[in-house]
Amino acid sequence: MVNPIPQPTILSFNPAVRTLMGPGPSDVHPRILAAMARPTIGHLDPQFVDMMDEMKLLLQYAFQTRNALTIPVSAPGSAGMETCFVNLLEPGDKVVVCQNGVFGGRMKENVERCGALPIMVEDAWGEPADPEKLEDALKSHPGVKAVAFVHAETSTGARSDVQQLVEIARRYDCLTIVDAVTSLGGIPLKVDEWQVDAIYSGTQKCLSCTPGLSPVSFSERAVARIKARKAKVQSWFLDLNLVMGYWGASTKRAYHHTAPINALYGLHEALVMLQEEGLEAAWARHHRHHLALRAGVEALGLRFVVKEAYRLPQLNAVTVPDGVDEAEVRRRLLREFNLEIGAGLGSLAGKVWRIGLMGHASTPKNVLFCLAALEKVLSDLKAPIARGVALGAAGTVLAAG
Ligand SMILES: *Cc1c(COP(=O)(O)O)cnc(C)c1O
């Protein structure tokens, strides 16, 4: 029997123009989309190779590192996560994973799938990873090889103290694996100064690029561990010993896989834009617009999940008022305003919204737009909020600069 011929109704896909203020992807800057529409060239074309070399320098700037092994993995943030675990861990290795949200749970999965042994250090969702608990775990489990944790927990909006956690891990001679998917470009991150060994990020959060690439960086200590492995890395695609043949310093690049060429044009553009703005300026912008959103959200009478001291400016978890159907609010925001905000995950599902102010979506316009739309929808649903004050409160903060 011959398969039926499909009758597509979408003859050319033309998505609506949305405003993306969820946990990622965030709005992609038109300059980045334009860069991605340029002609595809060969992935070993000398022009492309020059662009790759420059990309490594731009990524080093973004990560604040001189690590030679600083490249974009050709797959989303989850693949960057897996790249770190499969290359650094060998079967039987003990690994401490600090978990305070969804993504720490994924780290545990990765450790187990490497045949390594996770030792979990758990904190409540919405809290940062507790350095004292990490130290206790390292004290009571001698011989731990690595410590893994999430810098910016996108599922809750909490920031953990990378510098402090790494300092403890190093005292116990452990390598560190840090998830910086949501932190890179949005909050201070200093890979060399903080002595992080392995770090991975994503392109679709504070870099405002399309999803699908994962910048990673490895210290010399980490590279030495990878080169000294007894067991082969179980993933052929993510084995850095092989990937380095393509991305490495040598001028003779060997084919490993076909790079996602146009996606890399986009990342290059995004990193040039980050450099033009300046890292510190980008961090300050994320902070400023968070303060404006906060003023508006609190004026509405809503509360934040995470305490101010370790709240992420780029991911604002806000509690849903009693009696409000949070999914209905998100549906209306999308339908009436083309505005996407995020739902809660895991133990916070149904209880919070996650409002992203990531990358180029972190603007005064989006702060005011989101507050106005939220106020309108909550008013329509007769939610118990204060009306007519949120925009003024946010505006006052924005005017103060
Ligand atoms: C989004 C995210 C990931 C996963 O990235 P993908 O690109 O979706 O694979 C991992 N960790 C954190 C903290 C994230 O926010």
Q: How many CB atoms lie within 10 A of CB 208?
A: 27
* Separation of alpha carbons 138 and 96, rounded Å: 8
Other CB atoms closer than 10 Å to residue 204's CB: what's the count? 26
Q: What is the spatial distance between Cα 370 and Cα 296, in angstroms, rounded to a whole number?
A: 10
What contacts 286, CB < 8 A, 6 or more positions away?
Answer: 186, 187, 206, 313, 314, 357, 358, 362
Q: Convert the pLDDT of each residue in 202-237 to its tens digit.
A: 999 999 999 999 999 999 999 999 999 999 999 999
pLDDT at position 250: 61
Q: Which of 182, 203, 267 to mutate to test the pocket of ligand 1 (most atoms within 8 A of CB)?
A: 182
DSSP classification of residue 72:
E
Looking up tokens 């904190």 gives 123
Angle between helices 77-88 and 102-113 (to 10 degrees): 40
Q: How far apart are CA 208 and CA 192, in angstroms?
A: 24
Query: What pLDDT is attached to residue 251?
Result: 61
For residue 208, give the H/E element and its range.
none
Expressed in angstroms and rounded, the spacing between residue 395 Cα and the centre of ligand 1 is 32
Report the candidate in 341, 350, 342, 348 with the shortest Cα–Cα distance to residue 323: 350
Regarding the beta carbon of 154 and ligand 1, being less than 6 Å apart is answered yes
**Which of 103, 110, 206 has most ligand 1 atoms within 8 Å of CB, for mutation?**
103
Task: Let me know: does 69 contact 119? Beta carbons within 8 Å.
Answer: no
Does ligand 1 have an atom closer than 6 angstroms to the CB of 103? yes
| Ligand 1, atom nearest to 155 Cα | 15
Compute, in angstroms, the gap from residue 299 CA to the centroid of ligand 1: 31
Answer whether 0.95 is exceeded by the pTM: yes
What the block records as the tokens of 187 is 């909050």
Mean of the per-residue pLDDT values for the chain?
96
* Ligand 1: residue whose CA is nearest its atom 2: 181
From CA 351, how far away is CA 105, in angstroms rounded?
Answer: 20
**For residue 67, how far is its CA from the centre of ligand 1 (angstroms)?**
22
Residue 217's DSSP bridge partners are 70, 199
134 pocket-lining for ligand 1 (C-beta < 6 Å):
no
Ligand 1 centroid–CA 181 distance in Å is 6
The CA distance from 108 to 85, in Å, is 10
User: What whole-number percentage of the chain has pLDDT above 90?
Assistant: 95
Q: Give the pLDDT score at 247.
A: 87
So what's the pLDDT on residue 359?
Answer: 97
What is the Å distance from ligand 1's center to 21 Cα? 15
Q: Which ligand 1 atom is the nearest neighbour of the CA of 182? A: 15
Measured between alpha carbons, how far is 210 from 199 in angstroms, rounded to an integer? 20
pLDDT, residue 229, reads: 95
* Contact call for residues 70 and 220 (beta carbons, < 8 A): no
Local confidence pLDDT in tens for the 401 residues of the chain: 778 898 999 999 999 999 999 999 999 999 999 999 999 999 999 999 999 999 999 999 999 999 999 999 999 999 999 999 999 999 999 999 999 999 999 999 999 999 999 999 999 999 999 999 999 999 999 999 999 999 999 999 999 999 999 999 999 999 999 999 999 999 999 999 999 999 999 999 999 999 999 999 999 999 999 999 999 999 999 999 999 888 877 667 888 999 999 999 999 999 999 999 999 999 999 999 999 999 999 999 999 999 999 999 999 999 999 999 999 999 999 999 999 999 999 889 999 999 999 999 999 999 999 999 999 999 999 999 999 999 999 999 999 98
The Å distance, Cα 342 to ligand 1 centre, comes to 14
Distance CA(359)–CA(327), nearest Å, equals 25
Residue 2 has what pLDDT? 78
Q: Which residues is 95 bridged to in the sheet?
A: 118, 146
Give the C-alpha separation, 135 to 151, whole Å: 17
Q: Which of 181, 208, 209, 213 to mutate to test the pocket of ligand 1 (most atoms within 8 A of CB)?
A: 181
What is the strand order of the sheet 19-21 is part of? 19-21, 339-343, 352-356, 315-319
Residue-wise pLDDT for 246-259, tens only, equals 887 766 788 899 99
CA 231 – CA 90 distance, rounded (Å): 7
Centre of ligand 1 to C-alpha 347, Å, is 18
For the CA of 211, the closest atom of ligand 1 is: 7
Query: Of 377, 401, 371, whose CA–CA distance to 389 is shortest?
Result: 371
User: From atom 6 of ligand 1, which residue's Cα is the shortest distance away?
Assistant: 77
SS3 call for 8: coil
